[in-house]
Amino acid sequence: MPHCETARGLRGQILIPALVVLSIIFILTGALLTNTTATFNISARTLKDSQVLNFAEAGVDFAVRSLNESGTVTETETTLGNGTFIVRDLTGSGNRREIESTGYFPNFANPKVVKRLRTTVRITGESVQFFYGVQVGGGGLTMSNSAQVNGNVFSNGNVIGANSALIMGDVVVAGGLNDTPTLEWTSENADHFFATSSSNRDSAQSFSATATGTVSKIAVFLGKIGNPTSSLTVRIATDNAGQPSTSSLGTTTIPTASVGLTPSFVEATFSSDPLPTVTNGSKYWLVLDYNSNSASNYWNWRKDASDAYPNNTGRYTSNCCSGNPTWSNAGGDLAFRVWIGGIPTKIQDIQIGDPSSGSAHANQFVNTTVHGTLCPNQYCIVDNLSQQPLPISDGVIEDWKNAAEAGGVLTGDYNMSGTQTASLGPKKIVGDMTLSNQSLLTLTGTVWVTGNVYVSNTSRIKLDSGYGSSSGLMVSDGVYTISNQTGFEGSGAQGSYIMLLTARDAKTEISIYASNPSVGVVYYAGKSQIQFSNFSNAKEATAWGITMSNNTVINYELGLANIFFSSGPGGGWSVESGSWREVQSN
């Protein structure tokens, strides 16, 4: 018996620890299972988050494709595999849209997983601002034989009238400048990128003044990378021990829309009162000041890597104009132009406004009536306002040419006659273009003609309806001759216009002849002249110089103050860099 009791005691001593160990195993196993289940649930949720986000992103892609194909986004619910996305066009019009896309699982409710994205999409193209019925460069505006402008006029040269010439609006003739810059360094053989990082937001080039006087205009050889959205601030600064001073003698801006992807000289004028003044023989700095930086949207100020401009050079820094900036060498001279001083300009032999409207600014007034009374009066303002650059730079024009050439090249003259109709664009034509005798050409993209363009005898050019509210254009390297009741039309939507632009560089020569009622078009000859005669009509005209005679009329429309030129109908919609954002998740 004692032996049995001892055995039972030993079994009890073994059983208790075993039960304890077993309990611990059960507890650990349960915890492990609980943790595994939680981890599985988290992983499942993470997977569903990722899948639903993919649905929302697919919705954005769907919206962009819809805009490119039809020009609209209809709010729809679309099934993609086992998920769904709903897209909405939050703004619904214009050339920049706010798109919202919501992705979710329609049959998965506990927990419900939803991802909502918003992004900005825009048409690839350029905004151009035509603030005046007529804007001219140093060649000025000459009007005679009952010529009339219904709109405002801005001229960098004289405005001369005769024989009942009338401007129903305000007229500004800027203080005169020589056509050629006072000093410049135009050699450029390398890129100088800036605003790519915080350390190089701002750049500057020194110059030695060759005359004493005011600086009212400068130009820099500039291009943009991507789509920087803010204007550049341009400063003239004195020299401070071999670097720019933080204070400025004068400031102005260069809008991003004035700069092309293709670098070119871009002008900017100073309007501060007084204008910045420089002294012959002293050193100054031309500073480009930008307020942010980006790895994808920045600027290219082309340079001469040989650094050959005597006793001057280019620099860059993180913050040009406050604190104590540290400037680094740019590795060469940054290409620029500066105009110092000028010559008097005038308004002569013309009527501006009527007894209840009209005003004028100029250095001089000769036999001019403003606001119903012969000058001088309170509406004839003797002034020396700054010149303004014409609104389209060479770089933007090159971008348009590149867009046209990307659509293919036709070698040889392009001719249409009779009642022939055709659609064309984007396309480059190596040769002349002739439209005559009621022919109709519909532009489906930008057209670049390397030769001359002739449009006559009730022929018409119009934009494809797919342009919507955007405008379109034709570029020529030669001369336009427009005559005999020709017509030009936008897409049919409000705010859509067609522009005929010549890139010909011949300031003393005519590059656009418009005569015998031709209507409905914007004309642009930034480096040459336009001649209107015999009842021709336009919506706006910009050129280095313009002549109007024989009852010609320009009827300005307010919509021209900011028009958007796209590469083609409905095309070019894409997501704006950096605009993706998640607005709701659960």
Token pair of 189, please? 């053989």
Residue 275 scores a pLDDT above 70: yes
Give the pLDDT score at 324.
Answer: 94
Give the pLDDT score at 238.
Answer: 98
Is-contact 369 352, C-beta < 8 A?
yes
Please report the sign of the dihedral spanned by the C-alpha atoms of residue 546, residue 549, residue 552, residue 557. Answer: positive
Q: Which helix (H) or strand (E) holds 478?
A: none
Residue indicated by tokens 């100020």? 301
Residue 19 scores a pLDDT above 60: no
Give the pLDDT score at 42.
Answer: 43
pLDDT in tens, 158-177: 999 998 999 999 999 998 88
Which has more confidence, 247 or 469?
247
Give the pLDDT band (50/70/90) at residue 43.
very low
The 8-class DSSP code of residue 325 comes to P
Average pLDDT value for residue range 496-509 = 96
Burial class (CB in 10 A: 0-12, 13-18, 19+), 271: middle
Residue 45 scores a pLDDT above 80: no
Residue 14 scores a pLDDT above 70: no
Give the pLDDT band (50/70/90) at residue 156.
very high
Percent of the chain whose predicted confidence (pLDDT) is above 70: 84
Strand partners, 288: 203, 234
Give the pLDDT band (50/70/90) at residue 44.
very low
pLDDT in tens, 540-576: 999 999 999 989 999 998 777 767 676 655 445 667 6
Give the pLDDT score at 571.
Answer: 44
Least confident of 53-57, 129-133, 249-253, 290-294: 53-57
Report d(CA 237, CA 206) in Å as an integer.
9
Report d(CA 165, CA 351) in Å as an integer.
6
Report d(CA 74, CA 11) in Å as an integer.
80
Give the pLDDT score at 365.
Answer: 94
Average pLDDT value for residue range 114-137 = 80
Give the pLDDT score at 62.
Answer: 81
The contacts of residue 520 (CB under 8 Å, 6+ apart) are: 487, 488, 489, 498, 537, 539
Q: How far is CA 510 from CA 461, 502, 506, 543, 545, in A?
A: 22, 10, 8, 10, 9
Residue 380 scores a pLDDT above 50: yes
Token pair of 141, please? 């505006």
Is-contact 80 58, C-beta < 8 A?
yes
Give the pLDDT score at 47.
Answer: 57
Q: How far is CA 333 from CA 64, 215, 312, 381, in A?
A: 43, 20, 7, 41
Give the pLDDT score at 558.
Answer: 74
Give the pLDDT score at 41.
Answer: 45
